[in-house]
Amino acid sequence: MKKIVLLGATGSIGQSTIEVVKRHPDKFRIVLASAHSRIDELLLYGDEISIDHFVITGENGANESEKTNNIHHGEDTLLSMLEEIDYDIMLNAVVGSAGLKYTVAGLKTGHSIALANKESLVMAGDIITELAGKNNCRIIPVDSEHSAIMQCLEGARDKSQVRKIILTASGGPFSNLKIEAFKNITLKDALQHPTWAMGDKITIDSATMANKGLEIIEAHHLFDVAYDEIEVLIHPQSVIHSMVEYMDGSIISQLSYPDMKLPIQYALSYPDRLDASAQNTDLAKIHQLTFYKPNFEKFPLLGLAYEVGKRGGIMSTIFNAANEAAVTLFLHDKIHFTDIPKIVEKELTVSNITSPNLDTIIEKDKEIKEKIYTNY
């Protein structure tokens, strides 16, 4: 029985994780579930499965009856509980930079992380991978592409035999839209993802392809591959979740219908596999798998992600913070879709800070966001 801490339980990944746990009550048990708001939704899970502790990080001041019911409030409370409670693995499904401190807290206390919060690695990949190595913890990706890559690398005898990683991307809702029409994209258009149902932030990131940019940086840190050895390939069906090309030209891939419950479950059961509720992937029915190269002109955030990744230091923290702030503004209808890459690009014309520590990273994240929110 694995004891799981589930952070971001009310989100899209969080809800799918609850489904996975419900299917395997003999394998998984949630000892703590957190959410930032919507306490009622969080508590409803307690009717379906047994959960020892609930933590709400965004609303402070528990009333007396709640306290006795194992409902806790506040970020600091959560951080100290992560030091005290007994658990095997943390599934971090918090959205955005807020997830970083929990990834660090889990690793510091020697816990492996099933990581959905890719922003942690984008902001502080060097620090996190070093901490994981030092404390003998695993970072198991929940992101479907990285779960696929991990599986495609399973048979690799030696990393030097890998020629490149091929990250597939659905291309989002605008891959066939002419660049001239981008200025007319509305929030409603951008929230319609063709193949995945996800939280708002990552849905917008998929529409701008910032998500694939974040995933390039995530892959670099998870698998220790150079940026020039990571290629993005548009694959609209989202059936091949990613591939690894070896030095002899063989390409290994992992396929399934798009369903996040699969990579979530694998991250929790790793290295074992368990049966799943997902329908079998019927290749004859899918009939065709297609591929083409991404358009860097229509999706400038993709090129900018390679650039910040290669520059290293604080640059990917700035990229992530500016993107998060711009997406928040777009979600509140304060800017146009085409402003998102412009806002990010503008923040990148700064001198770098090499080898920033965690405090510098958290401070820079805050500074960039505050600046952008003040200016718009």
- The closest alpha carbon to 208, from 229, 228, 187, 222, belongs to 187
- The closest alpha carbon to 268, from 125, 87, 107, belongs to 87
- Residue 216 or 318: the one with the smaller Cβ distance to Mg ion is 216
Here the tokens at position 1 are 């029985």
Residues lying near ligand NAD in the complex (CB under 6 A): 8-14, 35-37, 57, 93-95, 98, 116-119, 143, 196, 198-199, 201-202, 260
- The closest alpha carbon to 53, from 76, 37, 77, belongs to 77
Q: Cβ 145 to Mg ion, closest distance in Å?
A: 5
Neighbours of 27 (CB within 10 A): 16
Q: Cβ 58 to ligand NAD, closest distance in Å?
A: 6
Q: Which of Mg ion, ligand NAD, none has residue 9 at its interface (CB below 5 to 8 Å by kind)? A: ligand NAD
Please state, in angstroms and as integers, the Cα–Cα distance from residue 245 to each residue in 191, 229, 231, 261, following that order: 33, 10, 10, 26
Q: Cβ 157 to Mg ion, closest distance in Å?
A: 27
Q: Which of Mg ion, ligand NAD, none has residue 216 at its interface (CB below 5 to 8 Å by kind)? A: none
Q: Cβ 204 to ligand NAD, closest distance in Å?
A: 11
Q: Cβ 336 to ligand NAD, closest distance in Å?
A: 22
Site for Mg ion (CB under 5 A): how many residues? 2
- The closest alpha carbon to 14, from 77, 99, 88, belongs to 99
Q: Which of 7, 78, 143, 337 binds Mg ion (CB under 5 A)?
A: 143
Type of residue at 280: N
- Residue 56 burial class via C-beta count within 10 angstroms: exposed 0-12, middle 13-18, buried 19 and up: buried
Q: Cβ 19 to ligand NAD, closest distance in Å?
A: 13
Centroid of chain to Cα 15: 15
CA distance 297 to 294: 9
- Residue 132 or 262: the one with the smaller Cβ distance to ligand NAD is 262
Q: Does 218 bind Mg ion (CB under 5 A)?
A: no
- Residue 245 or 259: the one with the smaller Cβ distance to ligand NAD is 259
Residue 50, phi then psi, degrees to nearest 5: -85, 130
CA distance 167 to 131: 26
- Residue 37 or 50: the one with the smaller Cβ distance to ligand NAD is 37
- Residue 194 or 249: the one with the smaller Cβ distance to ligand NAD is 194
Q: Which of ligand NAD, Mg ion, none has residue 260 at its interface (CB below 5 to 8 Å by kind)? A: ligand NAD
Rule CB under 5 A: which residues touch Mg ion?
143, 145
